[in-house]
DNA sequence: AGGAGTATATATCAGACTGATATATTAATG
DNA sequence: CATTAATATATCAGTCTGATATATACTCCT
């Protein structure tokens, strides 16, 4: 196997919190962990079918939320005992190193091919994006603190603090780098 | 198009420094930018063929390095004027947000499913890995400072400082989080 | 009443990316 | 001269992404 499928475990883990539809899973991922994990419908729906075939989850029923505005019935899936066992097994295993690809840095690495202003502008956009994400994290933290505190709510808080630390570091680096490049450019123009 | 192919531009950018073989490109990527970008042979070789067909690079010749120990002849590719134009165009364009997936955080998010020691051990492994990468970055910085300073060498230094800042932040977060979780566990055991 | 607009929901696909493996060449080693 | 190790190219199954297609049912407006 070239890679292990992690969407599988992301879905199982989410269903361990509560039964949900594919649409719900996407919503929750987008609203609570998007700063470190993303999922696509293109992966979620086929995986729900697969997990269902394997007996790790099962279709609990079809319904329509009361607070919902419209749309077709939701297919709500629940995790099975077998499914819970599978996530736990995965949680026990150490994971491989991430293979991040940071396009900004790749572009900066080739910065000698374009005028300095282009590189600086790219870093400024990165800084602004990071500031926005940090704002979102602030609102997630607010929600988290408003809810009840228990053992389960502990873990979302530590992933949150990772996000905060990361984006603060990114912003810092952007500021420093912009200043550095501007100084260098001025020096070169003489 | 679902995504844009970035391997294409990574290869073109590398060939803008100097003519190289696919094997060389992989080596350079692994040794100088692996902390923010990775490439596979599985992507490099087909892309070299494609870029060659499109006239963005051309086969400069086959040779064997003097300092090399053995192996078959290298196919050395050089970037063409058209290829240079293509990278530059790409460099001018703003890039989309990254979609990082941090498996450690996903596992921690589901931490309530396993004993606390399992989560703590995972963070400890992350911290150790980050410490090792930081060491590698230190050696890259040493090499960089040893070489001649010019406009081109400027950019690798700023990507390097991103890496340093990032991994330092990760280590900090790991230390704080481990301490926090240990304290919490002790409190719970009473 | 009916049409437009919008949120909900499931599904599929081309193309990008990964990690492993297969194949072959040549130098150095013993 | 067989073995080992480094060099080099190539291919493939499986994962992941982003876009798009299809359809349902509610709300709002005229």
Q: Please tell me which residue of chain A has the smallest CA distance to B151.
A: A112
**Cβ–Cβ contacts within 10 Å for residue B190, how many?**
4
Give dist(CA A35, CA A58) in Å, integer.
29
Give dist(CA B2, CA B9) in Å, integer.
17
Condensed to tens digits (0 to 9), the pLDDT of residues B6-25 reads 999 999 999 999 999 999 99
Looking at mean pLDDT, say which of A155-169, B29-43, B69-83 comes out highest: A155-169
Q: What is the mean pLDDT of residues A71-95?
A: 91
Q: Which of A169-183, B72-86, B167-181 has the lowest mean pLDDT?
A: B72-86
pLDDT at residue B128 in the model: 96
Residues 134-163 of B near strand D (Cβ < 7 Å)?
A: none
- The residues that bridge with A78 in the sheet, in sequence order, are A58
Q: Please answer whether residues A84 and A21 qualify as being in contact, where contact means their C-beta atoms are separated by less than 8 angstroms.
A: no
Question: How do A57-63 and A74-79 pair as beta strands?
Answer: antiparallel
B85 vs B151, residue with greater confidence: B85
B118 vs A contacts (CB less than 8 Å): 91-92
**Any idea which residue has 């910065």 for tokens?**
A111
Q: What is the mean pLDDT of residues B98-122?
A: 95
pLDDT at residue B101 in the model: 93
* Nucleic strand C within 7 A of Cβ A51: no
Quickly state the pLDDT bin for B4 (edges 50, 70, 90).
confident
Q: What is the mean pLDDT of residues A69-91?
A: 89
Q: Tell me which DSSP letter residue B37 carries.
A: -
Q: Which residue is nearest to nucleotide C9 (CA to C1')?
A: A72
pLDDT, mean over chain A: 90
Question: Phi first, then psi: what are they for A68, rounded to 5°?
Answer: -80, 150
On the 0-12 / 13-18 / 19+ scale of CB atoms within 10 A, A125 is middle
Q: Tell me which DSSP letter residue B113 carries.
A: G
Percentage with pLDDT > 70 across chain B: 92
CATH class name, domain A7-92: mainly alpha
Give dist(CA B110, CA B90) in Å, integer.
39
pLDDT at residue B104 in the model: 97
pLDDT, mean over chain B: 90
First and final C-alpha spacing in chain A: 57
Q: How far is the CA of B148 from the C1' of D11 (A)?
A: 41
**Cβ–Cβ contacts within 10 Å for residue B178, how many?**
17
pLDDT at residue B78 in the model: 94
Q: What is the mean pLDDT of residues B73-99?
A: 92
Q: Which nucleotides of D are covered by protein (CB under 7 A)?
A: 5-20, 23-27
pLDDT at residue A188 in the model: 64
pLDDT at residue B63 in the model: 75
Per-residue pLDDT at B68 exceeds 80 = no
Quickly state the pLDDT bin for B168 (edges 50, 70, 90).
very high
Give dist(CA B15, CA B21) in Å, integer.
9
């Amino acid at each position: 196997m070239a890679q292990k499928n992690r969407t599988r475990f992301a879905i199982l883990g989410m269903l361990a919190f509560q039964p949900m539809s594919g649409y719900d899973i996407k919503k929750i991922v987008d609203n609570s962990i998007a700063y470190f994990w993303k999922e696509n419908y293109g992966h979620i729906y086929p995986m729900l079918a697969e997990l269902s075939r394997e007996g790790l989850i099962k279709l609990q029923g079809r319904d329509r939320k009361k607070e919902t505005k419209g749309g077709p019935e939701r297919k709500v899936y629940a995790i099975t005992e077998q499914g819970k066992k599978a996530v736990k097994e995965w949680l026990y295993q150490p994971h491989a190193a991430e293979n991040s690809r940071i396009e900004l840095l790749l572009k900066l690495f080739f910065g000698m091919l374009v005028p300095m202003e282009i590189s600086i502008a790219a870093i400024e956009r990165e800084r602004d994006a990071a500031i926005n994400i940090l704002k979102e994290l602030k609102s997630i933290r607010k929600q988290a603190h408003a809810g009840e505190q228990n053992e389960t709510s502990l873990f979302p808080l530590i992933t949150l603090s990772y996000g905060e630390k990361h984006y603060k570091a990114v912003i810092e680096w952007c500021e420093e780098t912009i200043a550095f490049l501007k100084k260098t450019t001025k020096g070169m123009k003489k």
